[in-house]
Structure 1
Amino acid sequence: MPKNKKKGGLKGADKSRQGSRPPTDDECDTGDNWSTASVLSEDANSLPESGGDVESEDTNTQEDFEDKLKECIEGTLSKSAVTRKNCLEGIQKSFSKKYILDFLGDRKETVADCLTKCLRKGKGDEQALAASCIALLITQLGEEAETLFVELRPFMLTIMADKSTSVKARGKCANALAICSFLAGEDLEHVRNVMTALEDIFKASYVKGDNSSPSHSPEVCAMHSKALSGWCLLLSIAPSFLVEEMVSSHLDRMTGLLRSSDVDLRITAGEAIALMYELSREEDEEFEGPKMQELCELLKQLATDSNKFRAKKDRRQQRSSFRDILRTIEDWDAPDVSIKFGVEGLHLDTWVRKKQYDTFCDLLGSGIYQHLQENTLIREIFGLGAPRPIGAKPPQKLTKFERNMYNAAAFKARTKLRQKHRDKRSVSVNGV
C-alpha cells in the first residue's frame, strides 16, 4: 500500500493543465457499441427519470447491472475471440464506471482467473483489454488484491518482455504492471524488479552512442511512453536512496528523449525529469543536475516550439506542458491544479500527486469522479479520508475577506521562497 508523502515548498503554476483532465468516454479505448453476450447497457448506471418507486427502481437497475456483468465474466471463457473481446470491453467499462467492491467480494478469484486466461491465450487486442481489466480489478479490490497480484504479475512480465507479442498488448501490460505494483506491491524488491523491467522497455528510445535518436514506429513510441509513465508512477513512492540511484542513472540520458519525434514520449520524458528534480530537491535543496543550463535551453525551445511540420494540437499541448516543466527546473514551481467532484475538491500541488492523479484518470476515464467519491483506496492515496455519506453538505466556504488574506499570505511566502533560491543560483553562477 503506497504511503502518501508529504510535499511542501513547491507552489503555483498554470491551473489549466490538460493532463489533469479525465478523458471523456470518446477518448477511452473502450468500445461503446457493446454487442453479443448481453453486455452492459449505457443506461445501467442511470437513475430512473420519472414516476414509480425510485428506491425500488434503483435496486432493479443495480440488479440488472450485476446480472449483465456476470454474463460478461462468464463470456470471457467463450470459444469465440470476438465474444471474449466484447465481454472484456464490458468488464472494463463497468469496473471504471462504478465502485463495486461488494459485488467482487466472493468473485475476485473467479474474475482474476478469467482475465488470466484471456491474457495467456488471447492475442493483440484481447491481451491489451485483459491487462487493463486486471489493473481495474486491483484498483477495485485495494488491500484485498495483494495475493492476486502475486499470481498475476509473472504473466504480465512475460508478455511485456516478449518481442513477438503485440506492441499494444505489451504497452498495456507495462501500464497495468506499474499500477498494480503501486497499489498492491508487497515489498520493495518486487517493485524494483518491475521498475527494471519497465526500464528495459523505454531505454530503447535513449540516444545512441553516436548521439543520434533511434527511429521507432508510433506504436513502439507509445509503448515506450507507457513504460516510462509507469516507471515514474513507481518512482513517486520510492524511498530516497532508490530515488537517488535512479536519478543518477537516468536523468542525463532522459534528456535525450526530449528530442524524440513522438510528442507524447517527449512530454512524458519532460514530466519524468520534472519529477526527478522535485524528488531530488526534497533531499538536497541545491540540487541542479549534471547539465542544468543545457537542459533549460532545450526546455525553452520546446516551450516555444512553432515548427509548422508539427500538428497544431501537438504544438499547443507541448508548449503548455513544457512551460510547466521549465518553471519547475528554473523557479522551483510545481503544477497547481484544483479538481472538484461532488461536494469535495482535490488539490494537486506537486508532480508526485499530479502523476498519480493523471495515471488514474487515464485508467478510469470519466469514472474517476465516481471513484474519488467512493473508492476507499483511491481516497486514501489522495488523503481524502473516509467516503462522505450520500447527501452530505459541502464544507463551509471562506468569506471573500478570508480568501483575500489567505491568498496574500501565500503569495508573500511563495515570493520569499523563490527569491531565496534565485539568490543561491546567482551566487553559484557568479562564483563560476
Structure 2
Amino acid sequence: MGKRNSQRKNAAMLDFDDDDSASSSSTVPSENMQVSGAEEVQPDKEALLDQSLDALYEKRGSTRENALSAIIEAFNSNLQNEFVEKKFVTLLHQCVNSIKRGSAREISLASHAVGLLALTTGPGDKAQEILEESVLPISQALKSRHETSKISSLLECLAIITFVGGNELEETEKSMQMIWQVVHPKLGSNVVATKPSPAIITTVVSAWSFLLTTMDGRTLDPKNWQESISYFSSLLDKEDRSVRIAAGEALALIFEIGNLEKFSGEAKGPKDSSGHEGNKTREFAHIQGLRAKIVNQVRSLSVEAGGKGSAKKDLNSQRNSFRDILEFLEDGYSPETSMKIGGESLRTTTWCQLIQLNFLKHFLGGGFVKHMQENEFLHEVFGFNPKKKHSSETDPRVSSIEKRLYKSPNSVLNKARTQLLNKQRMISRDKNTGHYAVGFGGEEALEVA
C-alpha cells in the first residue's frame, strides 16, 4: 500500500486532469520512487521529471511508457522552461528513440511529448533541431499502417513541430506532403494501399489545414495540391461527421486564402483559336463549377436531418459548422469566436485563427488553459495578452533562467515567425466589419498568413 500511496501522491503533484490524453491513466514507475526506511520522501516536480527522464533509458517498454506519461502530465500542468533549458537534448533524443523502437502506445506518447517540447521552447534553434531530428523517424513510423492512435499522434506531432520550427516554405510543404501521403500514398512495388479509418482521415485533413494556415497562398506550388479540393469535396459525402466537418473547414480555409485555382487544377483540353484567352475562360468556368458544387454540398449539410441512431449533439455540431461555412461562402463573413481565459477574452475572427485554435486546443487537452496563460509563443500566435499575476523581475519564485527567457525575445520567437504572425493580426484588425471578399486569386485574393 505504501508504494501505491506514493504513486498517487506523485501523480497528484502533476495536477493533470485531461481525460482525452493517452497519458491520463499512467504514473511514474514505482521503482523510481524514493523511499527512506518507513518514511516516504516525496520528490518535488523537478526531481519527478528527472526520474521520468532517467526511466526512458530502461529496457522495459511499460516503464518507458509510464515515464512518458508522467512527462506529458508535467508539461501540461506547467511550462517546464527551466527543465527544457537543462535537459532539452536528452529528452528529445530519448523521445526520438521511442518513436523508432517503441510499441504503438510508446510511439503515441513519445510523439505527444515531442510536440509539447516544441510548444514549450517556441520558435528558434531548439525548435529547428526538433524538426530536423524528428522528421525522418516520424516518416518511417507513418509507413506502418496499423494502430489509429499511433498514426494520429504522429501526424499531430509532425504538424506541431513544423508549425513551431519550420521557417522555410520547403519545410512546411514537405511536412504537408508527408501528411497528405497517409491518405494518398505513392504506391511502389513494396507498398500496399490500405484504407485509412475515418479517425485518421480526420486527423490528416486537420493537420494539413493547420499547416496551411501558416502559408502565403501565392507561394504554394499548384502541382502539389491540385487534387486536394476535389478530395475534400468528396469527403463532404462521407458518413462520418468528423470527416465532413474537417473537410468543410479545410475548404473554407482555401476559399479564405483566395487561391482556389491552385487547389483545383487547370481546365484540360487543347487550345482553341483564341489561344490563351480560351484556356482562361475554360479554367474560370471549371473553378466556378467546383465552387457551385461545394456550396450546394455545404448547404445540404447545414440543414441535414438526423438519421437513425444519430447523436443529436454531433448533428447539431455539424449543422452549426456548415451554417458558418455557408455564410462565409455566400456572404464572405467568417465566424467570430470568443472564450474567457484568466479573465481575458481570446478571440478569433478568421478561419485561419479558428483552425489554429481548435487544433492546439485538441492537442494540449487539459493543458490548453495553462499554456494560453503562460506560453508566450501562443500569445503571439493569437495576439492574446493575459493578465500577468506577477512580474518576473520582482518575484523571487522565478528563476534566473526564466528571467532570461522573458527578457530575450529571440529565445521565444524568431524574426520570420514574428513578422508572419504580426501580419496575421494586422489583417484581423483591418477587416472591414467582418467582411471578406472570397476571390479566385490575383489582386482579389485575400492573403492570410
Q: Normalised by the size of structure 1, how large is the TM-score?
A: 0.72
* Aligned length, in residue pairs: 347
Question: Counterparts of 1:4-403 in structure 2 under 5 Å?
Answer: 25-34=18-27, 36-37=29-30, 64-142=44-122, 143=124, 144-163=126-145, 165-203=146-184, 216=195, 220-243=197-220, 245=222, 248-280=226-258, 289-309=288-308, 310-384=310-384, 388-390=388-390
Query: Deviation digits for residues 28-72 of structure 1, max 9, x if unmatched?
Result: 3332352524799xxxxxxxxxxxxxxxxxxx99x7111112111
Deviation at 1:241, TM superposition (A): 2.2
Between the aligned partners of 1:167 and 1:232, the Cα distance in structure 2 is 19
Deviation at 1:154, TM superposition (A): 0.9
Structure 1: which amino acid aligns with 2:163? F
Q: Do the aligned residues in 2 keep the contact of 1:274 with 1:351 (CA within 8 Å)?
A: yes
Q: Do the aligned residues in 2 keep the contact of 1:37 with 1:83 (CA within 8 Å)?
A: no
Q: Do the aligned residues in 2 keep the contact of 1:97 with 1:364 (CA within 8 Å)?
A: no
Q: Do the aligned residues in 2 keep the contact of 1:324 with 1:334 (CA within 8 Å)?
A: yes
Deviation at 1:355, TM superposition (A): 0.9
Between the aligned partners of 1:39 and 1:124, the Cα distance in structure 2 is 24
The residue matched to 2:346 in structure 1 has which SS? strand
Structure 2: which amino acid aligns with 1:266? R
Structure 2: which amino acid aligns with 1:174? L
Structure 1: which amino acid aligns with 2:214? I
Deviation at 1:283, TM superposition (A): 11
Deviation at 1:103, TM superposition (A): 1.8
Q: Normalised by the size of structure 2, how large is the TM-score?
A: 0.69
Larger relative CO (CA 8 A, sep 6+): 1 or 2?
Answer: 1
Deviation at 1:161, TM superposition (A): 2.8
Deviation at 1:132, TM superposition (A): 0.8
Q: Do the aligned residues in 2 keep the contact of 1:337 with 1:349 (CA within 8 Å)?
A: yes
C-alpha RMSD of the superposition? 3.4
Deviation at 1:367, TM superposition (A): 1.7
**Share of identical aligned residues, percent?**
24
Give the direction of change, closer, same or farther, for the CA distance of 1:281–1:189 in structure 2 (3 Å limit). closer
Structure 2: which amino acid aligns with 1:338? S
Q: Do the aligned residues in 1 keep the contact of 2:217 with 2:259 (CA within 8 Å)?
A: no
The residue matched to 2:345 in structure 1 has which SS? strand
Q: Do the aligned residues in 1 keep the contact of 2:28 with 2:52 (CA within 8 Å)?
A: no
Deviation at 1:387, TM superposition (A): 7.7
Structure 2, unaligned runs of 5 or more: 1-15, 34-40, 186-192, 263-283, 393-428, 439-449
Give the direction of change, closer, same or farther, for the CA distance of 1:244–1:297 in structure 2 (3 Å limit). farther
Q: Do the aligned residues in 1 keep the contact of 2:77 with 2:370 (CA within 8 Å)?
A: yes
Q: Do the aligned residues in 1 keep the contact of 2:254 with 2:260 (CA within 8 Å)?
A: no
Structure 1: which amino acid aligns with 2:48? K
Q: Do the aligned residues in 1 keep the contact of 2:118 with 2:161 (CA within 8 Å)?
A: yes
Structure 2: which amino acid aligns with 1:344? E
